[in-house]
Structures are given as C-alpha cells and as structure tokens.
Amino acid sequence: MALEPSETILLCEDQEAVRRVTARILTSLGYDVVVAGGGQEALLLAEAWHGPIHLLLTDVVMPGMSGPNLARRLAASHPGMRVLYLSGHPEESIARHHVLQPGIAFLQKPYTTEILSRKIREVLDAG
C-alpha cells in the first residue's frame, strides 16, 4: 500500500543500478524523490528544489564528494533535513567518515525494502 506523498527524499547514490532500485522503492512507499548520481548533482538539485527536503539518503563513499561532506554542505540551506547514510563498504573503510557514531543514522547495504522503509520512518520521526 503506497502512502500519500508528503515528504521529500533527496537520494544521492553513485551506483546507477542501486540508485534506480532505491528510487523505485522510495516512490512505491509514497515519497517524493529527487535523484542524484553524486554530490555536485545533489547540491544543484537541492538548490533548485522548491520546498523542503525532509531526508538526505546518501551513500557514504562516493567519487568527488562523500556523503558526510554533502550533508554538511546542505545543512545551512535545509536546516530541518535529516540524514540517513548508506554503505556497502566494510565497517573499517567507512569508520573514517565518522558515520558509525551514536546519533548518526546508518544502514548497511544490502537492505530489504522493509528494513529501508522502517529506518527511513525512524529517522524522519526522530526528534
């Protein structure tokens, strides 16, 4: 059962197949989805977006700009935006990006639709 779209998710994922599948999942869950293939594209899309971006769903490790750097750059222009980091890299590889600390939302790839849906709701409903 799809939800009425009421929240916007900016999806930033550099792997095309993962990006396409994740966007399809998010749309089927009822979210408005803005899709970017990298950090620079995400910055441009967020700047052009008219309305709030409720959640940045971003890969941690990407060419050009990491997910944490993207989140920092978007924070000023989207102060209420929450962030959920994703990664398929081993824990020791992503630890240097400081996303495995308490209070930071993180989901290890691969994930199921149910796990992704639950984690998104948890992040959006927090606070």
pLDDT digits (tens, 9 = 90+) for 55-83: 999 999 899 999 999 999 999 899 999 99
Convert 68-95 to b/e letters by CB count within 10 Å (16 or more is b).
Answer: bebbebbeeebeebbbbbbbeeeeeebe
Our CA dihedral for 88, 89, 91, 95, rounded to 10 degrees, sits at -110
Tell me how many degrees the CA angle 85-9-21 measures, rounded to the nearest 5: 75
Q: Hey, is 33 helix, strand or coil?
A: strand
Domains and CATH numbers, the chain: 8-125 (3.40.50.2300)
Compute the average pLDDT of residues 23-34: 96
The answer to whether the predicted template modeling score (pTM) of the entire model surpasses 0.85 is yes
